[in-house]
Structure 1
Amino acid sequence: MALEHPAYGQLRQVTTTASVVLADNPGQMTLDGTNTWILRAPGRSDCVVIDPGPKDKAHTAAIVAATGGEIALTLITHHHHDHTGGIDRLVAQTGTPVRAKDSEYLRGGTDPLVDDEVIEAAGLRIDVLATPGHTVDSMSFVLDDALLTGDTVLGRGTTVLESRSGAFGDYLRSLDRLVTAGAGKALLPAHGPDHPDAEPVVRYYIDHRHERLTQVREALRDLGPDAGAMAVVRRVYADVDKRLWLAARSSVQAQLDYLRTEG
C-alpha cells in the first residue's frame, strides 16, 4: 500500500523522479514538518537532495538510508534552520556537495546558486529560479514534472514574508514566475502536502496576497496612514490565532512598505 502524507521518516514516492522524507518537526511554522525531497532519474542509483532539514540525527539517518548515501548534489531552498540544520551531518555521512544562494551554506567547493541557471546532476535537469519574498535567498527548482517551491508556496495555508523593504513586491513577482513555471507540474513544497498541479495553488496565493493587500489598505483608511504593523494585524487578522500574530506582523510590515513606496 502506498504511503500517504504525513509519513515521518519514511521514503514516500510522489512523482516518477521525486520522493520525500518528512522530518518529525511539526509546528505552527513548519506545519507537518520539513519535507526533504529526493530526486532520482529513472535507472539511476545516485540522486539530488533538496533541503537536508533540521539538525536531527533520526532525519539525517532516514535520508542516508533512502539515498544509500549516493547523493550527487544537495540544494538548499533558503537559509532557515529547519531546512539547513542538517547540512553538516549529511555532508559528514555522505560527502555530498551543497549549493545554496547564501554562500554560508556552500559545501564541497561549490558556487552559489544563480537565477535561471540549469543544473545537470544525477541524470536530472533542474532549472533554478530565484523566488525572493519569504526570504531574500529563496530559490525554487523546476523539473520536467515538478516544481519545488521551498517555503515560497506551501502545501497548506500561506507563507510568511520578510519584513524588509521590497519583500512584498519581490514576492508578487516570484509568484508570477511560479504560476508560469508550475503549469501542469506537481507542486512539491517544503512544508505540507504535495499537489498534482502547482498552477491553481500558486494562483490562490496570488489572489490571497492581493486580498490581504486590500484589507491592509482599508485598515489604514480607518487607523490612519501612519498606523503601525501590529495595529493593522489586530484589525486584519482578528480571526486568526493570536499565536500567529507575530509572524503576521512581518508580512504586514512588508505590505505597508509596499503601499507607502509603490502604491
Structure 2
Amino acid sequence: MQAIVIPFRHEDTATWTYLVHAPGDGAAVVIDPVLDFDAASGEVHTESAATVLAAAEAAQLRIEWILETHAHADHLSAAAWLRGHTGARVAIGAGIVRVQRTFKERLNLDDGALVADGSQFDHLLADGEVLRAGSLTVQALATPGHTPDSMSYLIGDAVFVGDTLFSPASGSARCDFPGGDAHALYRSVQRLYGLPATRMFLCHDYPPAGIAARAEIPMSEQRARNIHLREDTDEAGFVAMRTARDATLAVPRLLWPALQVNIRAGRLPPAEPNGTSYLRLPVRLRGGGAHSGA
C-alpha cells in the first residue's frame, strides 16, 4: 500500500510535519506537529498546526493519531493543541520515560511540575507495536541513538525516521544528547536500510546553501549516498566521525524551551498562581568566581 503523504515545512525550525492517510480512507495520522514559538517574547502561536488541521478538514480526513518521533530539542510540539481540536490520541516511544527522568533532574522539577512516568501521553509505544487508523497500518520501530526515545514509523512503503537521518547531503543525527549513542544510531540506521520501504521521510533537513530542503528521500539514495552512513559504512569509522563532529556542535537554540514542553506531550508547564506559565533555564557560571553585585 502506498500511503498518501502531505508534508508541511516549518521554516523557522527546519521541521517537516506529515499528514498521512490511505487512498480513499478518511482516517489519518499526523507526525511531528509544530508550535510557533518566539523565544524573545515568550509567545506561542498555532498557525502552523492550524494549517495542518485545515488541510485535514479540507480533505475530509479524521486525525486519529498524533505520532511523535521523539521529544524534540529544536521545536515545540503542537501535539496537545491538535489533540484538543481533534480528539486524536498522542503516542511516543516508551523511552520517553527515561528522557523525562533525565530532564526532570536537570531542571530540578518536583512531582507537582512533572511526573516522569509517560502519563502525559495517551500511549507509549513498544518496539514493533502496530497502530491502526482506518485502513492505515503503522508499525512503530525503536531507532535509538539520537535519543533513547527515538521511534520511526513504517506505513506501507514509507518510513518516517525523525532525526535519525537527514538528506544524503546532510548526513546523520547528533548523538551527544543525554542517552544518545553513536553505536546505537549506527545499528538503527542499518535496521532502517533493511526495511522493505522505498520512501524515507525526514523530520528535518539542513541542506547546504543553495540546495532546497527535502522531505522525501528514496531509500536507495540514502543507502548509496548518505555522506555519514551508507549501507556499507563501517561502524567504527562512523562512531569516530560522529563523536568528533558532535564535539563541535552548539547547543540547539530552543533546547530548554522545547524539552520542557515536549516531555509534557506539547503542554506548557503548569501555570503559577499568577496564571502564567514559565520555562526554566539552567544557568552555570564558567570561568572566574561569582560576584555579589553589592
Q: What band does the TM-score fall into relative to the shorter chain?
A: 0.5 to 0.7
Partner deviation per Cα, 1:1-58 (whole Å, 9 max, x = no partner): xxxxxxxxxxxxxx652111111324xxxxxx21111111111222111111234411
Letter in 1 for 2:188: S
Asked if 1 retains the 8 angstrom alpha-carbon contact of 2:151 and 2:162, the reply is yes
The letter of the residue matching 1:121 is: A
State which of 138, 147, 155 in structure 1 corresponds to 2:159: 147
Q: Name which of 174, 183, 200 aligns with 2:221.
A: 200
| Correspondence for 1:24 | 11
* TM-score normalised over the length of structure 2: 0.60
Q: What residue is the counterpart of 2:32 in the other structure?
A: 51
What's 1:62 paired with? Answer: 51
2:71 partner SS: coil
Would you say 1:186 and 2:199 are equivalent positions?
A: yes
Give me the whole-angstrom Cα distance separating, in 2, the residues matched to 1:65 and 1:160.
34
Given that residues 147 and 198 in structure 1 are in contact (C-alpha distance below 8 angstroms), is that contact kept between their aligned partners in structure 2?
A: no
TM-score of the aligned structures, taking structure 1 as reference length: 0.67
Q: Distance in 2 between matches of 1:121 and 1:199?
A: 28
Instruction: Determine if contact 2:66/2:83 at 8 Å carries over to the other structure.
Output: no
Alpha-carbon deviation of 1:200?
A: 3.4
Contact 1:118–1:126 (Cα < 8 Å) also in 2:
yes
Distance 1:45 1:84, change over 3 A: farther
Q: d(CA) in 1 for partners of 2:146 and 2:189? A: 11
Sequence identity, in percent?
25
1:144–1:185 CA contact under 8 A, matched in 2: no
Segment drifting more, 118-127 vs 192-201:
192-201
Q: CA separation in 2, counterparts of 1:16 and 1:166? A: 31
Structure of greater relative contact order (alpha carbons < 8 Å, 6+ residues apart) = 2
- Work out the CA distance in 2 between the residues paired with 1:129 and 1:184: 13
Aligned mates of 1:18, 1:80 — CA distance in 2 = 21
Give the Å deviation of 1:209.
6.6
Aligned residues: 204
Greater helix fraction, Structure 1 or Structure 2: 1
Cα gap change, 1:72 to 1:166, in 2 (>3 Å): closer
Q: Which runs of 5+ in 1 are unaligned?
A: 1-14, 27-32, 217-228, 238-243, 249-263
